[in-house]
Amino acid sequence: MTVLSRCSTAAANPTVAATFSYLIRALSSSSKFDSETDLNRNKPATLATLNREPEGRNVQWVFLGCPGVGKGTYASRLSNLLVVPHISTGDLVRDELASSGPLSSQLKEIVNQGKLVSDEIIIDLLSKRLEMGEAKGETGFILDGFPRTVRQAEILEGVTDIDLVINLKLREEALLAKCLGRRICSECGGNYNVASIDIKAENGRPRMYMAPLPPPPQCASKLITRPDDTEEVVKQRLRIYQAMTRPVEDFYLIRGKLLEFDLPGGIPESWPKLLRALNLEDHDDKQSAAA
């Protein structure tokens, strides 16, 4: 599998699970990334200088952005367009929570408090997902929710080449409203949003409108709110993100792999602009126009 292409000689040809066991041991080492020093030595990347995937293999992309910004939405669309697996560590955590497995109770407490799940747990869940994908013959990926720390980014860089990192950005007031409006169908697992976001233009910033993403009739009476989507928890997640994950943006910026993308509104407005930024075309976009 491509994800294993750069493992060290000492760990040559291991299984995915064994490789990530090696990576878990590596977590005990301290980060070597000094963002201030490194940024002073490097210039910001431009779209023209961003690295692209080598010819002959599928893309290996990462989505960054605050919790609730829409990483899963746009990663999923690109996954369908490019025919590569979309791997969301958030979904992996939620699946583990629903499974009542050995990590379920520990994860429940972490998630409900708005804390970040530890590197060890995330890598364990990710290793299982990659092992399953390897068995199915998957190549390439779009990662959503990983890496969240510089240490995770260093570990990922040690085992595979990341071609591009897409950093989604959204105004904080819109982000908070979007998170509080998220709903899930308790039966089919579909994701919807009841928030109607309309932010007036001011201080030179344009108006932003994001329409609700309503459920189909069969799901309307089965909507539930994620336990971690409360105002207090959402604000706590944003504070943690600012402290821990922003340095990851710098990590990829100095490597010429970071594409900053400010979401101008909902899906109808943002999706075509994101495709243009990525030099892609979607000839068969029949998905819902609502955001």
User: What phi and psi values does residue 16 have, to the nearest 5 degrees?
Assistant: -60, -45
**Cα dihedral: 180, 273, 143, 223 (round 10):** 30
Q: In what order do the strands lie in the sheet with 191-193?
A: 191-193, 182-185, 223-224
User: Which residue do the tokens 């509104």 mark?
Assistant: 265
Provide the b/e sequence for 176-189 (b: ≥16 CB within 10 Å).
bbbbbbbbbbeeee
Of 191, 213, 214, give the one whose Cα is nearest residue 265. Answer: 213
Residues 6 or more apart whose Cβ sits within 8 Å of residue 104: 96, 97
User: Which residue do the tokens 């431009």 mark?
Assistant: 46
User: Which residue do the tokens 């669309």 mark?
Assistant: 77
Give the C-alpha distances (Å, rounded to integers) separating 46 from 65, 176, 208, 262, 277: 19, 29, 26, 15, 11
Write out the catalytic residue numbers.
Answer: 71, 148, 182, 226, 237
Please state, as a whole number, how many other Cβ atoms lie within 10 Å of the Cβ of residue 147: 25
